[in-house]
Structure 1
Amino acid sequence: MLSSEDHSPTAIPAESIRDDEKMPAPEVPISYVIRDIVETIVLTLLAFWLAQSVIQGFRVTGPSMTPTLLDGQFLFVNKLGYFLEAPERGDIIVFWPPYESEDRLIKRVIGIPGDEVAVHDQHVFVNGVELDEPYINADPSYSGEWHVPEGEFFVLGDNRNSSYDGHNWTSFVPRDNIVGKAAIIYWPVPNWGLAPHVPILADN
């Protein structure tokens, strides 16, 4: 004879489990915490170092590159721009001047190693060819001739008559003095855009 008793297991409400019966959360060893903190710091410093090695900010000071770049503008400089290739005529570069100074300069490359640069009759000539320069503020009022040595560059400001540059110096800009290639104007916002490099007198 079958019994009418219910032998099914009795469900125990989850709420009835005592707190001391719950599984304790595993403790994280202090060494793991320290390791995570150290890794975070190291990665942050590495990222900062890489950023500084590739891109650097620069503030335009003075009117020497007017109208191309204005006093007070900020731009990013690509420090790896010349890692595999040399500066070209028409490039805008940031560099340490060939004389003792704590300030970096920004100018346009006019002559590359081996070039013969001349300024006369208010025009610039490279290797006997007159340059078409739509970016300058005014025709130069000075004159002169320069032979660009190997490993060095001749630079001028776009504001030809208000720029302390290659036509004033007794030396040129060594390749090692070049910080990088002007990349992006980022401030003020209305002036945002790529730095206006203009190829001039491309080699045939």
Structure 2
Amino acid sequence: MKRPHLLREIVEIVAITVLFFFLIRLLTQSYHVNDASMQPGLSADSYVMINKQAYLFRPPQRGDVIVFHLPTNTNIDYIRRIIGLPGDTVQIDGTQIKVNNTVLREPYVSASATPIVNTWKVPPDQYFVLGDNRPSSEDSRYWGPIPKTYIVGKAIFVYWPTDKLKIIDTPNLAP
């Protein structure tokens, strides 16, 4: 008589485990940082956890580190920091970034020099993203702002390697 009871408990445990797994996959995703574009904050070969539901109830903010589909090939995902919001004017003069004519304070940038000098007007529902390591980052300077629909999620913490374990914060970059 105890066998049906044990079998039912095993089926319940498996069902709860599968449900829990799918719920976690719906809310979060792992991302492998495979280049130096976000150094020093995120080093190559780091793994970060992203919150896929972060922008369900609020829009992305300036300073957020996001994972998104590359505009030129949506099968590839990149990780970069949001610098310009919809409606912003982003100016790069070779050494500094201005958003709406105000210089951004960027304590996370390893090297601010960039050979690109240009001005972009960020369209509605799009975001201007840059890597923290400007000299070695492909970003919106090359392919323009990214549509909100291309954003996969917000990077929330680094979990590998374990000696780099940390929460990824969003600095106040209000221009």
TM-score (norm 1): 0.79
Residue 141 of structure 1 corresponds to 115
The correspondence of residues 29-68 of structure 1 with structure 2, limited to 5 A, is 30=4, 34-68=7-41
Residue from 107, 122, 146 that aligns with 2:95: 122
The question of whether the paired residues in 2 share the 8 Å contact of 1:111 and 1:155 is answered with yes
The question of whether the paired residues in 2 share the 8 Å contact of 1:76 and 1:184 is answered with yes
Residue 97 of structure 1 corresponds to 70
Deviation at 1:33?
5.2
The question of whether the paired residues in 2 share the 8 Å contact of 1:136 and 1:159 is answered with yes
Q: 1:37 to 1:160 in 2, by over 3 A?
A: same
> In structure 2, how many angstroms separate the alpha carbons of the residues matched to 1:121 and 1:35?
66
> Which amino acid in structure 1 is aligned with residue 91 of structure 2?
A
The question of whether the paired residues in 2 share the 8 Å contact of 1:151 and 1:174 is answered with yes
Deviation at 1:164?
0.7
Gapped regions of structure 1 (runs ≥ 5):
1-26
Cα distance per residue 1:66-113 (max 9 Å; x no partner): 111100111111112111111111110111111224221100000011
What's the RMSD between the two structures over aligned residues? 1.7
Residue 135 of structure 2 corresponds to 161
Gapped regions of structure 2 (runs ≥ 5):
none
Using the aligned pairs only, state the percent identity.
36
The question of whether the paired residues in 2 share the 8 Å contact of 1:68 and 1:196 is answered with no
TM-score (norm 2): 0.91
Q: 1:166 to 1:28 in 2, by over 3 A?
A: same
> In structure 2, how many angstroms separate the alpha carbons of the residues matched to 1:189 and 1:50?
25
Aligned length: 174
Q: 1:121 to 1:164 in 2, by over 3 A?
A: closer
